Structure 1
Amino acid sequence: MQQLPYFMPIKDRLRHYQARLSGFWTSLNLAQRCYLLAIIVSFVYLWDDAQSHGLMVGITALVLVAMLSEFWPKFIQIWDSLPGKAVILLFYGFVANYALVQASGLVNDITGVSADHLPYTHNFAVLLSVPIWFVITSLVVLLLIQFSIPVYILLLMLLRPFGLHSIWHPPGYRFGIITGFIRFGAGLFLLIQLTLLTTYTGVLYGVSQTVTNIVGDIETDLTINVIKSSDEEIAAAIKEKPELESTLSELDEAKAIIDQQASSYEKKVKRILANFIFDNEADARSRCEHSEHSRVIELNDYEILEIEKITTADKTSYRYQVKPCISAAIGHQFKVNAIKP
């Protein structure tokens, strides 16, 4: 490294430092630059008393761009290979199957009939489920990355004395180990942000319910005893420190708010689907008799799903009833039976 003269004009010294800083910046790739900017913005965020939401969004965006720029070329390399295509298609086929099942369950919960009778609504429900499963796959990928990065850093440190770590990176790649540690921290940060977002919006409500049911089915007596013992320990701790009771009540209130937000997401999706069924998929005119202002979906030659719109000052709801198809040719026996005293 070139030594600076002891006596040097301030202007020349500033130019020297500017040249060194410019050389350092140009030696970094896009991901490393984004990581560096994210660290700088993080310090600004910590020093900001108001802790602006915009700064947090900026940090998240920089980390996301950095990780995408690093892992997208790797994804392309895996996709170009035949085994890679098989693994990726198998993974997304598994995800698509669950998205179809979840969409079918939503339609059935709304109407009370099979989603096979409402193909357009089923497809629309699948499209609404795509963000949920996109978040799920992102969480899974981030978890896998977090498990692999410590192994990656350890291998880099073990291979460094032999000079073999450089073959893992393109020519001119600098600060591999330091970048690995920063990548690990950035991955954890992104995982936490994504988890908080899904918890706040409630997009994982259906998945959490499924996991809860599975855990409930496989629960054993041992786990029940552990839960009971934990409750006893909590009660004893509250007796020793009464202030813990207020803390636990605050946690219960926070959990109740999260549960409410989570269930509200599913309610919004169901309301959107219910409106779509009545306004788009159901028929206003039918060969089968139905109530005035109601709409009909023909299930088969003998049955219909009648949908009535109920509007009140507070909300709009729908009533679904499976009725016999009374047309010009069939179903008159049901009409006769209906008017009998």
Structure 2
Amino acid sequence: MQQLPYILSIKDRLINYHNRLTAFWSSLNLAQRCYFLAIITSFIYLFDNAQSNSLLALLTVLVLVAMVSEFWPRFIQVWDSLPGKAVILLFYAFVANYALVQASGLVNDITGVSADNLPYTHNFAVLLSIPIWFVITSLVVLLIIQFSIPVYILCLLLLRPFGLHTLWHPPGYSFPIITGFIRFGAGLFLLLQLALLTTYTGTLYGVSQTMLNVVGGIETGLTINVIESSDQDLAVAIKEQPELERTLSELDEAKAQIDQNASAYENKVKRILANFIFDNEADARSRCEHRTDTRVIELNDYEILEIEKFTTADVTSYRYQVKPCISAAVGHEFKARSITP
């Protein structure tokens, strides 16, 4: 019976902690709740010996949802203004133009002719590339905005003595400075995940090539520094030569892996486009003479693109040849030359 007050005090403490935690959770908005859950998930991931990929994926989703939920109202606010619409449309027009150029280059690499002769394939290539570019560039812009947070936090600290605690937040926004630091760290984490995604999956070949140039520049800088160093520095470099060679070897392996993944992704896209050209855009019948096992695309009144399909060991490949159009009205002179011994 003497322990009853002690048991009740523990219960009261638990109720108090529960009420405080409930009040704290109620004071947070959606983004802050996601950040809070992301912090808990990150601790679980760090102390998890298996380093589960599902925890990493959950952490990435929580951070992404938090940032998008904060960024979207600002985006709508900017979109409602005329200058904001102009800037946003100009940005996405640049992205769309780049996607058009990239799609045109892919079609030309496959067929050897201008993409203007294959409008449906060109449009299909654009549809394959535009979503990726739109998502990646939007995330990059979002992260660039997040990296201005230290300046924003500094402004909050400087203006705090004047009674300005929340510049761009509603009156009920809690913990603006702490949230700003967490948001900055989450932005770095999301940038790392984005770089790994685009680099090691090869979804953006241009990004992979940029990474290769950066890594190559690092190697060149290391080599130049070793060559141009003084005798004392050169002696130190020679002493640390095994470690330097190991670092350069790891960089070379990373470059090779990046190049391989990027090329594999580009080859997959080219195979999809090649199948689309042969199965959909090319004609099985034409006014121009061609072999029955080939398909053609009429480039103009006098030329055709003949496409021949090869299937060996479950590998499908295509051969593209530009030939003269031999029809009922034109091209017979080329046929006569081909027959004449």
Please, what TM-score do these two structures have when normalized by structure 1?
0.90
Gaps of 5+ in 1: none
Matched residue type, 2:224: S
Matching residue of 1:246: 246
Matching residue of 2:75: 75
Offset at residue 76 of structure 1 (A): 0.2
Q: Provide Cα deviations, 1:97-129, integer angstroms capped at 9, x if missing partner.
A: 111111011101110111111111000000111
Gaps of 5+ in 2: none
Matched residue type, 1:241: E
Secondary structure in 1 aligned to 2:330? coil
Offset at residue 150 of structure 1 (A): 1.2
Matching residue of 2:155: 155
Matching residue of 1:304: 304
**Root mean square deviation, CA, Å:** 2.7
Matched residue type, 1:70: E
Offset at residue 142 of structure 1 (A): 3.5
Matching residue of 1:260: 260
Q: Provide Cα deviations, 1:152-194, integer angstroms capped at 9, x if missing partner.
A: 1111111112111335311211100000000000111111101
Whole-Å Cα distance in 2 between the matches of residues 7 and 340 of structure 1? 109
Whole-Å Cα distance in 1 between the matches of residues 257 and 53 of structure 2? 21
The answer as to whether partners of 2:310 and 2:316 remain within 8 angstroms in 1 is yes
Matched residue type, 2:290: H
Could you tell which deviates more after superposition, 316-325 or 239-248? 239-248
Number of matched pairs: 331
Q: Per the alignment, do residues 14 and 228 of structure 1 end up closer, same or farther by CA in structure 2, a change over 3 Å counting?
A: closer
Matching residue of 2:224: 229
Matched residue type, 1:106: L
Q: Provide Cα deviations, 1:246-280, integer angstroms capped at 9, x if missing partner.
A: 34323322321121011111111111100000000
Q: Per the alignment, do residues 246 and 237 of structure 1 end up closer, same or farther by CA in structure 2, a change over 3 Å counting?
A: farther
Matched residue type, 1:230: N
Aligned-pair identity (%): 76
Whole-Å Cα distance in 2 between the matches of residues 320 and 99 of structure 1? 24
Please, what TM-score do these two structures have when normalized by structure 2?
0.90
Matched residue type, 2:238: K
Matched residue type, 1:103: A
Matching residue of 2:53: 53
Matching residue of 2:15: 15
Secondary structure in 1 aligned to 2:255? helix
> Is 1:275 paired with 2:270?
no
The answer as to whether partners of 1:142 and 1:191 remain within 8 angstroms in 2 is no
Secondary structure in 2 aligned to 1:168? coil
Matching residue of 1:86: 86
Offset at residue 228 of structure 1 (A): 5.1
Offset at residue 148 of structure 1 (A): 1.5
Q: Per the alignment, do residues 82 and 6 of structure 1 end up closer, same or farther by CA in structure 2, a change over 3 Å counting?
A: farther
> Is 1:182 paired with 2:177?
no
The answer as to whether partners of 2:199 and 2:207 remain within 8 angstroms in 1 is no
Could you tell which deviates more after superposition, 330-339 or 224-233? 224-233
Q: Per the alignment, do residues 193 and 226 of structure 1 end up closer, same or farther by CA in structure 2, a change over 3 Å counting?
A: closer
Whole-Å Cα distance in 2 between the matches of residues 211 and 178 of structure 1? 33
Matched residue type, 2:198: T
Matched residue type, 1:206: G
